[in-house]
Amino acid sequence: MDKYQMLKSVSEKLTKEIQEWKEAIEEFIENSQIGIIVMNREQEIIRYNRKAEENNKVAKERVLNRRLCEAFPRNTMKPPLFAAHKNMIENHIPYDVNFDLYIPYVNDGKSTFRLRGTPLGKEKGYVVFVDREDSFYETKREIKEKTRDLKLSTKFLYHLIDASPSAVISVDTDDRVISFNKTAEDIYGFKASEVIKSRYCFLFSQEERERIKEIVLSDNSHWQGEMIGLRKDGSDFPTKLSISKVVDEDGNRIALLFLLEDITEKKKLRQSLIQSKKMADLGEMIGGLAHQLNNPLVGVVNMADILTKRIGSDDPNFELIETVGEAAQECRKITKSLLKFSRKSKSVLSELDLVQALENSLLLVKRQSLLNGINIIKDYDNDIPKILGDETQLQQVFLNVIINAVQAMLNGGDLKVEVRSSDSEGANLNRHNDFVEVRFIDTGVGIPRENLDKIFDPFFTTKDSDNGTGLGLSIAYTIVKEHNGKIDVGSVEGKGTTFTIRLPAQNVQ
């Protein structure tokens, strides 16, 4: 065999092998389980295998000899693919990106794709490998749906907790607040953002904190009772409190749940009912007692007067008899107060300017020189509605409260007098004037907590006998009640006392 025949034989053999390799490569590309798109240097698609056709749901005839952006205009404009593909064309840098593509009638129109692009040598073309990861997309969609459901459930739960009429507060095992609902904000005066992650101890008095610690350390999973809470402004208030331990499946405590109700108004109402019953019973008893005492006292006063006139001032017994008469007169004053307290006299109601009645009371106290060292601060709303009331009786109420405040400020101080229009809940309003509210706020010594419930009881006083009989506030309470009103007291010992009188406006009598 000559050289020519040998070369021809080798050439044919190489050509056959090359063809076989080419066919093998073509078969490999066509049957690959990865979508393959091959482009020439003009970016025209020259190979588009079966898997790519299956993945993209676009027939081969529609994409061959077209640029990638023409064959898939909607999807190639996606930000991650567009930027990565452009970078490969311009800078010959491979890319590997994952993103969702729109595929009609598949997975609600979306599938998750992984595209890997690489240049084929310098300016020879490009190849893009396309994987559609349906299982990954399904997992991602499931996670997304569950996340959405969880968010909706969490949002619903928070709305539900916020709508609760009770304060709902939860704390972790480090005693730090992890939830604080809207009602808790309203009751305590704190915003949730102010207390979240803070220790809950500042919400209760020191004594109550110790009680809570004992409850937490006990074997009981639930406790309910009354405790004293502390507001943001430092004031305390009575609460009905429920404490529950939240545990995991192993029985370990993971949180504490506080359900709390402000029972200030309930306690006031209960105290008011008790006070009304007490006053009615005492009034009946005192009235009879005062009548029994008054008649003999009149005799003692008259006899002492007659004797002093008969014997004259030179008699050695004159001063003794005069002292007896003066003491009897003091006793008569007390019995008159008792009769006034017990007597259910008919009030003379008329249209009344409460501000004017209040001003008359302040003027009377001033004329009696009782305001020495006391700074009166007036704060009256405009357009205060008139009320139906007995001016004489209401002036007596104001006098008794003012005198009580003055006597609490022996070294001087401020007495702020406020007049407001309010609704039935005590909120200041501009349009609905259901009540007129008068407040007396002093800077005196305050009233001890243990005495607040007794302040309107007949004969209860912390003053000496020269400064009153303990009937002034009892009479004030009775008069306000007869006017269908309310009188309340609040006090912080060492800081001062506030008396609030609320009377119905004329249109709601």
Q: Above 70 in pLDDT, residue 275?
A: no
Please classify residue 427 by burial: count the beta carbons closer than 10 Å to its beta carbon, then call 0-12 exposed, 13-18 middle and 19+ buried. exposed
pLDDT at 70: 87
Q: What percent of the chain has pLDDT above 90?
A: 19
Q: What architecture does CATH give domain 28-132?
A: 2-Layer Sandwich (3.30)
Q: How confident is the model at residue 496 (pLDDT cuts 50, 70, 90)?
A: very high
pLDDT at 108: 57
**CATH 1.10.287 occupies which residues in the chain?**
267-342
Give the whole-angstrom CA distance, residue 301 versus residue 271: 40
pLDDT at 509: 47
Structure tokens at 7: 């070369």
Taking residue 380's Cβ as centre, other Cβ atoms within 10 Å add up to: 14
Structure tokens at 159: 């709305």
More confident residue, 329 or 151: 151
pLDDT tens, residue by residue, 403-426: 889 888 888 899 999 999 876 555
- The CB-based long-range contact list for 302-311 (8 Å cut-off, 24+ gap) reads 304/328
Backbone angles phi, psi at 310, to 5 degrees: -75, -45
More confident residue, 398 or 111: 398
Mean pLDDT of 364-373: 75
Q: Do 240 and 226 touch, CB atoms closer than 8 A?
A: yes
Q: What pTM, to 2 d.p., does this model score?
A: 0.43
Give the whole-angstrom CA distance, residue 488 versus residue 265: 11
456: three-class secondary structure by DSSP: coil
Q: Above 50 in pLDDT, residue 430?
A: no
- What number does CATH give the domain 164-262? 3.30.450.20
pLDDT at 252: 87
**CATH 3.30.450.20 occupies which residues in the chain?**
28-132, 164-262
pLDDT at 425: 53
Give the whole-angstrom CA distance, residue 405 versus residue 414: 10
Q: What architecture does CATH give domain 350-508?
A: 2-Layer Sandwich (3.30)
Q: How confident is the model at residue 281 (pLDDT cuts 50, 70, 90)?
A: low
Which single residue is written with the structure tokens 């076989």? Answer: 20
Residues pairing with 97 in the sheet: 115
pLDDT at 414: 92
- The CB-based long-range contact list for 342-349 (8 Å cut-off, 24+ gap) reads 342/282, 342/283, 342/284, 342/286, 342/287, 342/290, 343/287, 344/283, 347/389, 347/390, 347/393, 347/482, 347/483, 348/390, 348/392, 349/388, 349/389, 349/390
CATH fold, domain 267-342, is Helix Hairpins (1.10.287)
Q: Do 433 and 505 touch, CB atoms closer than 8 A?
A: yes
Q: Positive or negative, the Cα torsion across 294, 298, 299, 300?
A: positive
Give the whole-angstrom CA distance, residue 471 versus residue 400: 9
